[in-house]
Amino acid sequence: MDLFPFLSILACTIGALILLIIVMTTQTMGNQQKVKIIAKQEGDQKQGQDQSKSPRYLECSEKGVILYPEKITIPSAQLKQNPALKTLLDQLSKNRDKEYLIVAVRPGGIDTFQTLRTLVESRGIDIGYEPFEDGLQLNFETELTPQL
């Protein structure tokens, strides 16, 4: 009994399956270029009132800071005197018990983030940050989760 025809058919089937796996994996990896950021809010019950904070979003890159949702770009050299950033920081400073800042940091934006962080912390504003790869598109959402 000769098994060569069976082994040939088996080798062709395995080759076709490997090709299918590669194509499906490539398509799946291509769809993961968007990242959704969801700020989870937890209510802090003090004297019967919900004291949860809402996030405001920024992105630090090599070019500067991007304010969301308006997508206003501020060059790194103009961080300390930019009116749009100053307005945002003034609003956050007034509402520090209701709002905080989330910063997405790109690899080239670390120096920009350090400058921004100094500005934010000098005003007593709560800040959170997360590093992100270059090339990922960010999508910001807020999810309100009541505390039980």
33-89 pLDDT, tens digit each: 666 666 665 554 454 444 578 888 899 988 899 888 888 888 988 888 889 889 989
What's the pTM? 0.62
Please state whether beta strands 99-105 and 54-60 pair in parallel, antiparallel, or not at all (unpaired). parallel
To which residue do tokens 């950021």 refer? Answer: 37
For residue 78, give the DSSP letter: G
Higher pLDDT, 82 or 2: 82
Domain extent, residue 90, equals 34-145
**Residues 102 and 141 reside in one and the same domain:** yes
Assign 26 a pLDDT band (cuts: 50, 70, 90). Answer: confident
| Total of domains in the chain | 2
* 24 and 59, same domain (yes or no): no
Residue tagged 């270029």 (tokens): 33
Residue 44 and residue 75 share a domain: yes
